[in-house]
């Protein structure tokens, strides 16, 4: 039994808010190598005013969670997948890569150092981890930085969408978050800056968030705010859109695997047209922060389409949720290599 001493927080009512925890990981890249890698206590960073991250958005990030298990141990979920995705984001923005081993070691160090802030098993809370890299240094021209900072910080979180497994409603966006061959498949800040206005419009109209359509024709579903979309067809198939402007969600690819191997379903990455939604019996958003959030209704122009129900989660969505979270919290057997234990004190 691991000692699970924790600080005093309202674990059952955590939102998704920044918290200044005692430790974060930092590493500095200069002259072709990472330097001074390790834990620090200072939550602020000082950078030169000419830094490319400030003017040209040369930066990327990741989002993942540490899960407290029943026996007190702590799980990371597929951290190698996040390491690989960050490497791809870095390639797209001409930034140096963080090797997978260094990335996973950084996560473990941050979780271990802040372990008193990992929400207890059974509260539904997790320790959210935010790795990021920024291009810094004196550099006002439009070219890549010569220096970079890689950092990982953490904060305890609850559900991202307020409802949890209660369905919420979404609005089709009039704007795109990314271009067809732009940076949609990279986890970069620019996509998020572009999403603030359509997100705000959706919130002001009483929706949970907006749903982005394909940037070429605006006829197909792409993303649900900052989560991926999945549907369950009336004949029981798990479907999810395929497009180069979608961020490849680790959660989505995990659900594709679990739907096929653990639930015996057919699966397909395919086009999901907004004028053919009737063939979907259920729909949901998936991502590390969103976990699985059922989509109740979807407003497209003046049409309001309800998938399964505006108040109840559908049976297949619920099964997928139980399977995924069961694996993440260590209650169900995980496919080979999905769970990485964090060594604690
Ligand atoms: C991070 C992110 C997701 C979810 O990816 P996960 O790996 O499942 O957390 C989905 N869409 C966008 C735009 C994202 O940035």
Indicate the pTM of the whole model. Answer: 0.96
Per-residue pLDDT of the chain (345 residues; tens, 9 = 90+): 455 778 999 998 898 999 999 999 999 999 999 999 999 999 999 999 999 999 999 999 999 999 999 999 999 999 999 999 999 999 999 999 999 999 999 999 999 999 999 999 998 899 999 999 999 999 999 999 999 999 999 999 996 655 569 999 999 999 999 999 999 999 999 999 999 999 999 999 999 999 999 999 999 999 999 999 999 999 999 999 999 999 999 999 999 999 999 999 999 999 999 999 999 999 999 999 989 999 999 999 999 999 999 999 999 999 999 999 999 999 999 999 999 999 998
Q: Is 256 in the pocket of ligand 1 (CB under 6 A)?
A: no
Q: SS3 string of the chain?
A: CCCCCCCCCCHHHCCCCCCCCCCEEEEEEECCEEEEEEEECCCCCCCCCCCHHHHHCCEEECCEEEEECCCCCEEEECHHHHHHHHHHHHHHCCCCCCCHHHHHHHHHHHHHHCHHHCCCCCCCCEEEEEEEEEEECCCCCCCCCCEEEEEEEEEEECCCCCCCCCCEEEEECCCCCCCCCCCCCCCEHHHHHHHHHHHHHHHHCCCCEEEEECCCCCCEEEEECCEEEEEEECCCCEEEECCCCCCCCHHHHHHHHHHHHCCCCCEEEECCECCCHHHEEEEEEEECCCEEEEEEEEEECCEEEECCCCCCCCHHHHHHHHHHHHHHCCCCCCCCCCEEECCCC
Q: Which domains does the chain have, with CATH numbers?
A: 11-158 (3.30.470.10), 168-328 (3.20.10.10)
Q: Point out the ligand 1 atom lying closest to the alpha carbon of residue 187.
A: 15
Atom of ligand 1 nearest to the CA of 177: 13
Residue with the smallest CA separation from ligand 1 atom 10 is 227
Q: How many Å lie between the centroid of ligand 1 and the Cα of residue 141? A: 31
């Amino acid at each position: 039994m691991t000692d699970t001493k924790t600080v005093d927080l309202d674990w059952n009512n955590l939102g998704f808010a920044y918290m200044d925890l005692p430790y974060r990981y930092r590493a500095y890249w200069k002259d072709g190598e990472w330097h001074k890698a390790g834990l620090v206590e200072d939550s602020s960073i000082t950078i030169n005013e000419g830094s490319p991250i400030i003017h040209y958005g040369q930066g990327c990030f990741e989002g993942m969670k540490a899960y407290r298990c029943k026996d007190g141990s702590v799980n990371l979920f597929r951290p190698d997948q996040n390491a690989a995705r960050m490497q791809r984001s870095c390639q797209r923005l001409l930034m140096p890569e963080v090797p997978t081993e260094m990335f996973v070691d950084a996560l473990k160090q941050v979780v271990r150092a802040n372990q008193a802030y990992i929400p207890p098993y059974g509260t539904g809370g997790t320790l959210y981890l935010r790795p990021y890299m920024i291009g810094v240094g004196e550099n006002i021209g439009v070219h890549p930085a010569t220096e970079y900072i890689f950092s990982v910080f953490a904060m305890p979180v609850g559900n991202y969408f307020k409802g949890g497994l209660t369905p919420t409603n979404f609005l089709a966006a009039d704007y795109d978050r990314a271009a067809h061959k732009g940076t949609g498949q990279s986890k970069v800040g620019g996509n998020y800056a572009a999403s603030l206005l359509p997100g705000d419009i959706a919130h002001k109209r009483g929706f949970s968030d907006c749903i982005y359509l394909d940037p070429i024709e605006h006829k197909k579903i792409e993303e649900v705010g900052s989560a991926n979309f999945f549907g369950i067809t009336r004949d029981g198939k798990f479907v999810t859109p395929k497009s180069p402007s979608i961020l490849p969600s680790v959660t989505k690819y995990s659900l594709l695997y679990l739907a096929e191997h653990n639930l015996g379903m057919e699966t397909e990455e395919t086009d999901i047209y907004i004028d053919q939604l009737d063939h979907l019996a259920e729909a949901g958003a998936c991502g590390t922060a969103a976990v699985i959030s059922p989509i109740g209704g979807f407003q497209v122009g003046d049409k309001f389409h309800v998938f399964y129900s505006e108040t109840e989660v559908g049976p297949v969505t619920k099964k997928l949720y139980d399977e995924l979270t069961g694996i993440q919290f260590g209650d169900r057997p995980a496919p080979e290599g999905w769970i990485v234990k964090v060594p604690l004190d």
